[in-house]
Amino acid sequence: MQASPDTHHLVVVGAGFGGLQLVRDLAGAGLRITLIDQRNHHLFQPLLYQVATTILATSEIAWPIRRLFRERADVTTLLAEVSGVDADGKRVLLADGGAQPYDTLVLATGARHSYFGRDEWETFAPGLKTLEDATTIRRRLLLAFEQAERETDPATRQALLTFAVIGAGPTGVELAGIIAELAKQILWREFRNIDTREARVLLIEAGARVLPAFPVSLSDYAQAALEKLGVEVLLGRPVSDIRADGVTIGTESVGCRTVVWAAGVAASPAAAWLGIAADRAGRASVDANLNAPGRPDIFVIGDTAALMTADGKPVPGIAPAAKQQGAHVAKVIRARLAGKTAPGPFRYRHQGNLATIGKSAAVVDLGWLQLRGWIAWWIWGIAHIFFLIGARSRVAVAWSWFWTFISGQHSARLITQGRKAPERKP
């Protein structure tokens, strides 16, 4: 049964982890919900790097949003790009000129990569947030080997066989590890003019250690594991320039044709839409119930909200944090609709940090327990399979991993979309 038009109308912008959790937790709450996203799919971003590095297929980590809510007659899914919020008029503005009125609004619009004011770097160093980002990186990675195979100039060939990952958080570490495995263990038997084992994989980090969010002992282990795979870990060395033909690390210029950006993120413009204060990363200031200041009808959650933990550290921009915020706002909305007192302030419960290094090592930090090596790898793998949506994806991803494990081959080594497919004119 679809809700009647005078039912309280909740508009949720963004079908990431936070937005989905919110909508799920509001099942049966008697609302009319409109879920807007500029993509038709929810994306399991924690495994996006495996699409970029040829292990998983795009459809294994993405699900049509409408299918997720097909049984929920109270939920209308809208594929549209939001361009702003008319908070006084209680309307979400759409890029195509339309508008969507709301009674309550939740902005869960996430983050994009940030180039610290050097936006011109994006052309040469794509980040990793969307399926298109992942297939772009996959294409560049594979094309570099192909071009090196045909290149006769030694310096150009060396630059084609040099891969730089900038930023040594979990994404950077995971990317560098698999790129090294690809070059040094998988591809070398397939080329005749180059030895891909001679490829350089640079992991460049301005800070003092890899995985700065982890305990030092796990950072040290991760670094050693990366170096064992052949990754050159360059610490305390910020990148000062990125060009088509190379990167400058501090003052040293390195010829390099493939660069991936895993260094910084900036929130989506939710704070700007609302005209409210934002932190340096553009994340909107919200109160303890995730309400925008002075706007009890507007919530901001996930990567685009600025929040502190009980011990004064920023809430990390990871899936569990977004999910907890979505769940909290669902409780607040339910309480308000029922005329009850809202639950206490949002409290972030950190469940742990996980990262993999190649296909047999990983680090797990649960706070009360630190693990490394193959046991951590299994915990990492099982946790990720568990959090995927639906039996189909779980089987498909498990099969892709199993196959990679037993065959040593990656299953999605496709160069696609390099040239523009013919596009119809409007």
Dist CA 42 CA 326 (whole Å): 15
Q: Could you give the 3-state DSSP secondary structure of residue 219?
A: helix
Q: What six digits make up the tokens of 207?
A: 């800070």
- The helix (H) or strand (E) run that includes residue 189 is none
Instruction: Kindly state the smallest distance separating residue 170's Cβ from a copy of itself, in Å.
Output: 21
Q: Which is nearer to a copy of itself, 272 or 383 (CB)?
A: 272
Choose the catalytic residue: 151, 174, 181, 205: 174
Least Cβ distance, residue 310 to a copy of itself (angstroms) = 31
In terms of Cβ atoms closer than 10 Å to its own Cβ (0-12, 13-18, 19+), residue 385 is middle
CB of 6 to a copy of itself, least distance (A): 17
Residue 122 burial class via C-beta count within 10 angstroms: exposed 0-12, middle 13-18, buried 19 and up = middle
User: Closest approach of Cβ 328 to a copy of itself, in Å?
Assistant: 27
> For a copy of itself, which is the closer residue by CB, 38 or 285?
38
Structure tokens, 387: 């959090």
Q: Which is nearer to a copy of itself, 217 or 417 (CB)?
A: 417
Q: Are 328 and 290 in contact (CB under 8 A)?
A: yes
Active site includes 81? no
Phi, psi of 3, deg, nearest 5 = -75, 155
* CA pair distance 298, 286, nearest whole angstrom: 10
Cα separation, 141 vs 51, in Å, equals: 12
In 3-state terms, what secondary structure has residue 113? strand
Provide, rounded to whole angstroms, the least separation between the CB of residue 136 and a copy of itself. Answer: 5
Rounded to whole angstroms, how far apart are CA atoms 273 and 130?
22
Q: With respect to a copy of itself, which residue has the nearer C-beta, 369 or 421?
A: 421
Query: Which residues are bridge partners to 239 per DSSP?
Result: 249
In the structure, how many helices (H) and strands (E) does the chain have? 11, 25
Q: Contact 10/102 with Cβ under 8 angstroms?
A: yes
Token pair 């040239």 is found at 419
Measured from the CB atom, is 150 or 313 closer to a copy of itself? Answer: 150
Encoded amino acid at 124, one letter: F
- The secondary structure of residue 98, as a DSSP letter, is -
Give the CA count within 13 Å in the CB-facing half-sphere of 410: 23
Nearest residue (CB) to a copy of itself, 41 versus 350 = 41
Comparing CB distances to a copy of itself, the nearer of 136 and 219 is 136
The sheet carrying 231-234 orders its strands as 231-234, 200-204, 162-166, 258-261
**Least Å from the CB of residue 69 to a copy of itself:** 8
Closer to a copy of itself by Cβ: residue 240 or 417: 417
- Cβ at position 192, least distance to a copy of itself in Å: 4
Owner of token pair 């990148």: 239
Q: How far is the CB of 281 from a copy of itself (least distance, A)?
A: 12
Helices (H), 210-256: 216-228
**DSSP element (H, E) containing 331:** helix 319-337
Nearest to 121 by CA among 305, 244, 292, 289: 244
In 188-345, beta strands by DSSP E: 200-204, 231-234, 239-243, 246-249, 252-255, 258-261, 265-267, 284-285, 291-292, 295-300, 305-306
Q: Which residues are catalytic?
A: 174
